[in-house]
Amino acid sequence: MGGMFYLILKDLKAYYFKPPNISWGVLFPLVMALAFTLRNPSGLAELFPGLVAMAALFGTTSMEAIVITFEKRVGALERLMLAPLSLWTILMGKVLGGSIFGVMMAGAMTLISLALLGGWVTSPLLFTLSILLTVLVHSALGALIAVSVREVFEAQTLSNYFRFPMIFLCGVFLPVGAMPLPLRLLAHALPLTYSVDALRQTSMGPLNPGLFLADVLALILFLSVFLASAMRMLNKSLE
């Protein structure tokens, strides 16, 4: 645990706590929200859950998708393996570092939305749980992307292939139920859909315990699949 703690601390200082990353995690969702609300200014508060989910998404993946790729490229990851740390510890250190930064971005967006956009939270504990699962899942997705490619620019490009479709398909700006059937099916194959729904139920309401539990279980399943796949790909890439 001590090694994982210092690995997380190193990543936060070296990669995440930089002005461009902070601005990307907060300003981009706000700019997107402004673009969509120019046609319907009265519906700004309804975007609150989606904005928090999007801030978590971009907060976790802004650097998570390239940190491992960069460290493989410069040999830093191999040097970490010389320390008494298992490969699983190193991977979880990377994932938790991105998750912590994602929580900060989601928390900042929550405060902005509560103060300026008229949002509200009806179930604070479940809302917090939804944020934690969201950042863990998408940080694990970022790690999976990073271990699947060799170059940093490939990781950046591949992460955008996932992020931007999720923004428009996962209920951030348009309810999933209002989409055509093929898009609804695609949306339910993406983790952000369950994040947005869980955040919406615990903030704007109404809370449906059965549907919320389904969202939580879906996010746990995505997390398990992403972590297992990332671990397998990391082992393969280092052989």
pTM: 0.90
pLDDT recorded at residue 39: 57
pLDDT recorded at residue 40: 61
- Ordered by start, the domain boundaries in the chain are 2-238
Please give, one letter per residue, the 3-state secondary structure of the chain: CHHHHHHHHHHHHHHHCCHHHHHHHHHHHHHHHHHHHCCCHHHHHHHHHHHHHHHHHHHHHHHHHHHHHHHHHHCHHHHHHCCCCCHHHHHHHHHHHHHHHHHHHHHHHHHHHHHHHCCCCCCHHHHHHHHHHHHHHHHHHHHHHHHHCCCHHHHHHHHHHHHHHHHHHCCCCCCHHHCCHHHHHHHCCCHHHHHHHHHHHHHCCCCCHHHHHHHHHHHHHHHHHHHHHHHHHHHHHHC
Per-10-residue mean pLDDT of the chain, 239 residues long, equals 79 78 68 66 76 89 80 77 81 92 90 83 96 96 89 85 89 88 94 96 92 97 96 81
pLDDT recorded at residue 117: 77
pLDDT recorded at residue 80: 77
pLDDT recorded at residue 203: 93
